[in-house]
Structure 1
């Protein structure tokens, strides 16, 4: 069995304003599992508010660098890590740009590749997924920590993340090429966009693991 760790934020968790969380078979991780079949195990590790490497002064425990080693250890052996973070790094109080968010991703890639899996396990492959863009009406979103400057920052993430992924020898995919945010909050994917992302990732997983 091939084990795939999906490490991300609320769009991996499957957050929705309608009920708190999409059902398992609606979330992109669940849809990916159903598409791949029993020869694969898709492990969800989505946490709302999770950043790449930044400590959130309001939402505690969201630093992705802090929790990633625990996930790598507890879910061994791993064949692939799908890393989709960066959206929460665009919160206004972090004052980040696309470059600094890319550097956060680079640190996580280094952590995954140098983590001491030995003596029993080898390092997994990594697929970096640049997150969907922030929607145009984010200023009216119920999540007030995102301001209009996040719209343009989000559009610059793919280039930076592709660059750091290639430097680390990792695969890359731009989620914004196939999916986007819902109109209600300009941040989270609806069911149709979860489905679109899962469809796009399935052949990439086969390409990396088969």
Structure 2
């Protein structure tokens, strides 16, 4: 009996997977606590999360299912995640560097392949007063994240095509004075607005698809940082409209 190497078979199966990957669009959403679904509470924290169908990625998925047919949305939301700013200490036992999106994005996207689209919404935590991030630096780091995604080159020993990218400039932080979250958000309202504006400007400069969430939602929750359920619904539906157009253009 002739022995067949496992590697060519694996390669063949991979090629077949590539050929069928776009039958149902796969979307990867990468973000922070507002993507994770943090429910704002009067105590600030601890909290729980909204149900999957209440979070904006879930709302987006349902809207896309209705508009363009079945889609798969893979969500990676980590509370505290930043674009580029680094925490000096571990957060709840998680190493500080694990929260830096620009360091983790390649591995995160590779783990979710095959993908048609990556949606990134980060920047809120970079506005924290204890991180003192410069808005222009954060915008440049978003461009660097885009470069990391565009140069992933198929993932880890796979041959999947590079996904499209949509960057969401997050809505500006609101009034944070009512909860203990205020301890790390002194001056963050103005800084978060500047970060979002810088992300929009950087996107226009380098040709990134950027969606300005501040145009459709306002952070009016008790903690001033996290979206209420109605805001999740509004954002999810608005992003779905944008993503639907991108999917249709790609077909």
Question: 1: CA distance between counterparts of 2:211 and 2:205?
Answer: 15
TM-score by length of 2: 0.78
TM-score by length of 1: 0.92
- Report what 2:55 is aligned to: 27
8 Å contact 2:177–2:223 — kept in the other structure?
no
**Uncovered stretches (5+) of structure 2, i.e. residues with no partner:** 1-23, 42-46
Residue 63 of structure 1 pairs with residue 91 of structure 2: no
Deviation sequence 1:125-164 (CA, Å, 0-9, x none) = 11110001110x22443222211x2111122233311222
Q: Higher strand share goes to which structure? A: 1
Question: 2: CA distance between counterparts of 1:175 and 1:8?
Answer: 13
Shift of 1:39: 2.3
Residue 86 of structure 1 pairs with residue 123 of structure 2: yes
**Uncovered stretches (5+) of structure 1, i.e. residues with no partner:** none
Question: 1: CA distance between counterparts of 2:166 and 2:133?
Answer: 23
SS at match of 2:79: coil
When residues 166 and 121 of structure 1 are mapped into structure 2, their CA distance, relative to the original with a 3 A threshold, is farther
Q: Higher helix share goes to which structure? A: 2
When residues 77 and 167 of structure 1 are mapped into structure 2, their CA distance, relative to the original with a 3 A threshold, is farther
SS at match of 2:199: helix
- Report what 2:151 is aligned to: 114
Greater gyration radius: 2
Shift of 1:116: 2.1
Alignment counterpart, residue 200 of structure 2, candidates 138, 155, 162: 162
Count of aligned pairs between the two proteins = 208
Question: 1: CA distance between counterparts of 2:101 and 2:164?
Answer: 18
Residue 50 of structure 1 pairs with residue 89 of structure 2: no
Deviation sequence 1:164-203 (CA, Å, 0-9, x none) = 2234432111111111224310000010000000111111
RMSD: 1.6
